[in-house]
Amino acid sequence: MFKFLRSIKWPVTALALACALLSAAARAQEATPLPALPNVMDVRVSDTPERARLIVDLAAKTEFALVSLDGPNRLAIDVRAATFSVPEPTGQPAGEGIVSGYEIEQAAPDRVRTILTLAQPAQVQQAYVLDAFEDQPARLVVDIIPATPEEFAANVTRDRAASTDIAAAPAQSTPAGGSELPIATRPLVVIDPGHGGIDSGAEAANGIKEKDIVLAFALKLQQLLVESGRVDVALTREDDTFLRLEERVALARSNKADLFISIHADSFQQPEIRGASVYTRDENATDVLDKVLADNENKTDVIAGFTMPQMAPEVVDILIDLMRREMRKQSYLAAQSIVHQLEPSVELRRFPVRQANFFVLQAPDVPSVLIELGFLSNATDMANLMQSDWQERTANALARGISTYFDSLKTEE
């Protein structure tokens, strides 16, 4: 700095000195490049009459913005990115329903835009960005559901008034368990951390017990759901307590739960089997592994000296008949919604919506699902289950799945 000042010929005005300093600062700023914006690696759209999903694979996390457009009806999604290398920048979605086509363009040097042409009025239900994880890149996920013409027109008017520049105000990710849709009354979700007390459940070679993993995860999921403000939440156990299977079901029924979720992380003799899955109750298991898992869980009460309650045949017939009707349908919808949100976030088993005869899913008047987070017998699953980032990512996905399930019930009304 002193050398620079001595090189100026005196006398010099204060204005000239200020200009010289600003010019030097500008040159220094030019010499320090800004962080590079990421590349958009891939864009894909899946579509059904009930919902569509846009997934944008990114070289790194970045900001995004959304806007509704008419003439024709479209949704435009911008991400802050310098380039895109999408193999097919125009095309048709996988499936038929809400979206009739899409295209990707470089809207500006710092923006890549995806334009979805709509076959019917639609609205964004959830939008969020995921960190890169394992072999998955960072991702923007946008879930889209049908809207009335009036709702779509209102969104167009709102977005037009907000800004003429789609990327002027970056959007915020929808909170886990949250949604763009309002909800009138808060449903009750009962979370059941499996095992507890004398029943440790599965146990890893290093002594880690299933009962501890699922309780910690259930508490994290409860916190996310409570923070969303959309649902009320209760746990069947909040500490290392043993509950009979019958008691777990009774807690959900007596509190008139709107959804019962049992959380587990089992083991199996084949260590290569890994990934999350979601079960609904069915007397016929999807495969042999599912039957083994259900049989093992159903023996839980024997550990503490209890036996399964024996019901009169006519009562069993009534329960099974009810289960096969409305509650079986609702349980399957809940399982689908949860898997739909888990899919871009974590490793899933092949055919992740599965069936088995779990006693804990027997309630005839409460939609019920069982979540297998992974397998303690698989080294990768075990490492993930102990990792806070994975727990957070999976709990966020589950919270979103629960939210989308209740949103789907509203759209059916």
**Nearby residues of 260 by Cβ (< 8 Å), 6 or more positions away:** 189, 190, 192, 249, 252, 361, 363, 366, 367, 368, 369
pLDDT band at 384 (very low <50, low <70, confident <90, very high): very high
Taking every pair of Cα atoms in the chain, the longest distance, rounded to a whole number of angstroms, is: 107
Q: Tokens 């587990």 label which residue?
A: 264
* % of the chain beyond a pLDDT of 70: 82
- pLDDT at residue number 119: 96
Mean pLDDT of 380-395: 95
Angle (nearest 5°) at CA 83 between 114 and 125: 30
Q: Residue 10 pLDDT more than 60?
A: no
User: Which of 111-115, 159-163, 343-347, 409-413 has the weakest average pLDDT?
Assistant: 409-413
Quickly list DSSP for 249-279. Answer: HHHHHHTT-SEEEEEE----S-TT---EEEE
pLDDT, tens digit (0-9, with 9 covering 90-100), for 24-33: 544 544 444 5
pLDDT score for 166:
58
Token code pair at residue 222: 């409860």
Which of 85, 71, 80 is CA-nearest to residue 43?
85
Q: Which two tokens stand for residue 64?
A: 């995004």
pLDDT value at position 292? 72
Structure confidence at residue 282 (pLDDT): 81
Average pLDDT, the chain: 85
Q: Which residues partner with 21 through β-bridges?
A: none
Is pLDDT of 313 > 60?
A: no
Please give the DSSP secondary-structure letter assigned to residue 378: S
Neighbour count for residue 362 (Cβ, 10 Å): 19
pLDDT band at 162 (very low <50, low <70, confident <90, very high): confident
Strands (E), 48-137: 52-58, 64-69, 74-80, 83-84, 90-91, 99-108, 111-118, 122-130
What is the pLDDT at residue 312? 53
DSSP bridge partners of 74? 69, 117
pLDDT of residue 295: 77
Confidence tier at 151 by pLDDT (50, 70, 90): very high
pLDDT digits (tens, 9 = 90+) for 69-125: 999 999 999 999 999 999 999 999 998 999 999 999 999 999 999 999 999 999 999
How far is the C-alpha of 114 from the C-alpha of 58, rounded, in Å? 13
SS3 state at 289: helix
Asked if 297 contacts 263 with a C-beta cutoff of 8 angstroms, the reply is no
Question: Which distant-in-sequence residues (6+ apart) come within 8 Å of 127 by Cβ?
Answer: 64, 66, 140, 141, 142, 143, 171, 173, 174, 180
Q: What does the block give as tokens for 152?
A: 């779509």
pLDDT for res 120:
96
Structure tokens at 343: 């899919």
User: Higher-confidence residue: 165 or 189?
Assistant: 189
191 residue type, one letter: I
| The predicted structure's pLDDT at residue 275 | 95
The confidence score (pLDDT) of residue 4 equals 30
* For residue 47, pLDDT beyond 50: yes
d(CA 93, CA 49): 12
Q: pLDDT tier at 161 (50, 70, 90 boundaries)?
A: confident
* pLDDT score for 8: 31
pLDDT at 305 over 90: no
Q: How far apart are CA 363 and CA 322, in angstroms?
A: 9
Which pLDDT score is estimated for 180?
Answer: 77
- Type of residue at 289: L
Q: How far is CA 310 from CA 191, 269, 287, 306, 400, in A?
A: 26, 31, 26, 12, 38
